[in-house]
Structure 1
């Protein structure tokens, strides 16, 4: 008869003490993921007659860093992370940090100061950001970029859409929907944001093969309603033949106000981003033609799952929204507007 396997046998095979095996088997905590994995594998290899935990649960504190909560997209993102806290295992704790501004120095300072186990952040692509992310990597703190990527950094993953593709899609629909060929006005926050720069590059790439359309100008509204309206009014006065407006970022209300001023010869096609209560109203009114939504709910879930995957917290399958590919954006027009939550 074979001898009964004991915790001491498991400890010897795993190269740890019996007390450590007891903590892992009985899920008492205070054991690293790597040691826990080794203990559980040893127990399975030896055939320990115990019901083994499927995985080691440790507390994982994730800091989500966002700036400018007054922007509808950021408000939606905050809401989704708050909702996730009620759905996740109690050992996963999400801290939401709202930064005073979106400058690279501000974000980098917050990254370096984090005391959490992981970070999910919306941040510009800047050398000081890449340096801060590299510093966190040396501290074994994984970073996932959200909304806009920092591809040259040591981040472990990006949870967001392909913005270049979104820009090409915007160009396609504007050229198809415009009453005639002509100049296009482009509004963005700043091209320092990777997402905004990618969208504009996608637009430019598509228009390269459509010489009858051109970009009148690219103006930076800093996602501010009043500034966006003022800059667009000036552009409309200089180019009254503009046939379409592409708003790469926020400030849709500023775009709408500039269009309503009727400075242009005829009202333009207006394509923007994000489905909010404001863009939904503009679509219904007919001021906005199309909005490209990046699905904050899915972004938040994928971002958290990247962190959990990194810590080997769970075996994520296809139904768990874990993917390394960019997420697909969703197109909304006046005829397919879903119910938009009031946030």
Structure 2
């Protein structure tokens, strides 16, 4: 009892409240304003008593997850992983998901700077490049934790990142492609667009490995999958393409077109989706590079809660996301 009273006295002095107020807060007896409760909490944490605090009275901390509106399997897998790992968060954390239209900078800027509700952390797969850095810097300046997903934002400092090295991914694709090629010709890179940094980085890494020995053509598909069959056919018939690196997930139209070709080129794609596994088994697709969405989600949430001063007993995977390479033999 004396030790408890001594502890309460220290917290009361630090918080500028009465010992009785500290007692009511720590024992969840109510009748304390939100402001005084917050001061007691902060004082207890500052004095090293945070582990003893009951989770029930912690102020809720909202984590906002901002993802692009995109129906491709990777984004669906990433969101599913977030929902799975969010179930293991301490009870005072709340995950809210926001989906934004791609290629609309003003919509993204408004959502980042003017959230629908107060938040303590932002996890974001930024739709853009260096122009996002000053916007996210404003968010961090007001005390929010920022974690970037899938790719880094050039020029952004003081944040955490959960994702793979996309330059290394592109170099890996180039190394795999070069190892399979047996003749000279043109290599085609098919990004869905070049707006997102990860695609431009993958292209740069790919060129770094194969650019000295092969002509590399980049053909953004602009997410128009219905035109891919004619594009791939033209590249094979008129451009002499012997290898295709698909940096996004333009898979079905490419796969169905290549299945009909006796002169099938080497094909490397991204993400271990059901469609890609099917094409690997059919020997239409040579390699898949997977960016580990399960670990990306877990790591991003871990980065947020690790900055929280109170331990919450969280059982999250803490390893960093890894580039994974799949072929027909290791499915």
Same fold (TM over 0.5): yes
Cα offset, 1:302, TM superposition? 0.6
Cα offset, 1:77, TM superposition? 1.2
Q: Give matches, 1:184-199, under 5 Å.
A: 184-199=187-202
TM-aligned CA distance change 1:32 to 1:172, over 3 Å: farther
* 2:294 paired with 1:289: no
Aligned counterpart in structure 2 of residue 303 of structure 1, from 280, 300, 303: 300
- Let me know the Cα RMSD of the aligned residues: 3.1
Question: Which has the higher mean CA deviation after the structures are superposed, 96-105 or 71-80?
Answer: 96-105
Cα offset, 1:134, TM superposition? 2.5
Per the normalisation by structure 1, the TM-score is: 0.81
* Preserved CA contact (<8 Å) 1:57 1:313: no
Helix, strand or coil for the counterpart of 1:248? coil
Give the aligned partner of residue 219 of structure 1.
219
Per the normalisation by structure 2, the TM-score is: 0.84
* 2:39 paired with 1:64: no
Give the aligned partner of residue 122 of structure 2.
119
* Preserved CA contact (<8 Å) 1:316 1:322: no
* Preserved CA contact (<8 Å) 1:125 1:193: yes
TM-aligned CA distance change 1:43 to 1:268, over 3 Å: closer
Give the aligned partner of residue 248 of structure 1.
247
Helix, strand or coil for the counterpart of 2:172? helix
Cα offset, 1:84, TM superposition? 2.2
Question: Which has the higher mean CA deviation after the structures are superposed, 226-235 or 33-42?
Answer: 33-42
Cα offset, 1:65, TM superposition? 1.3
Query: What is the distance in 2 between the residues matched to 1:84 and 1:94?
Result: 10
TM-aligned CA distance change 1:227 to 1:58, over 3 Å: farther
* 2:329 paired with 1:332: no
TM-aligned CA distance change 1:19 to 1:105, over 3 Å: farther
The C-alpha deviation readout for 1:245-265, integer Å capped at 9, x for no partner, is 100112112322342353xx7
* 2:267 paired with 1:273: no
- Structure 2 unaligned residues grouped into runs of 5+: none
Question: Which has the higher mean CA deviation after the structures are superposed, 70-79 or 30-39?
Answer: 30-39
Query: What is the distance in 2 between the residues matched to 1:284 and 1:174?
Result: 18
Query: What is the distance in 2 between the residues matched to 1:190 and 1:40?
Result: 47
Query: What is the distance in 2 between the residues matched to 1:218 and 1:180?
Result: 20
Query: What is the distance in 1 between the residues matched to 2:303 and 2:39?
Result: 18
Question: Which has the higher mean CA deviation after the structures are superposed, 291-300 or 91-100?
Answer: 91-100
* Preserved CA contact (<8 Å) 2:45 2:309: no
Q: Give matches, 1:1-343, under 5 Å.
A: 5-11=5-11, 13-17=13-17, 18=19, 21-22=22-23, 25-26=26-27, 30=34, 36=41, 38-40=43-45, 42=47, 52-53=52-53, 57-114=58-115, 115=117, 116-126=119-129, 128-154=131-157, 156-208=159-211, 211-215=212-216, 217-240=217-240, 242-262=241-261, 266-314=263-311, 320-322=316-318, 327-337=321-331
* Preserved CA contact (<8 Å) 1:145 1:155: no
Cα offset, 1:332, TM superposition? 0.9
TM-aligned CA distance change 1:4 to 1:38, over 3 Å: closer
Cα offset, 1:154, TM superposition? 5.0
Helix, strand or coil for the counterpart of 1:188? coil
The C-alpha deviation readout for 1:286-342, integer Å capped at 9, x for no partner, is 11111010111110011111111233343899x85446xx632111111222xxxxx
Between 1 and 2, higher relative CO (CA 8 Å, sep ≥ 6) is seen in 2
* Preserved CA contact (<8 Å) 1:298 1:321: yes
Query: What is the distance in 2 between the residues matched to 1:230 and 1:155?
Result: 45
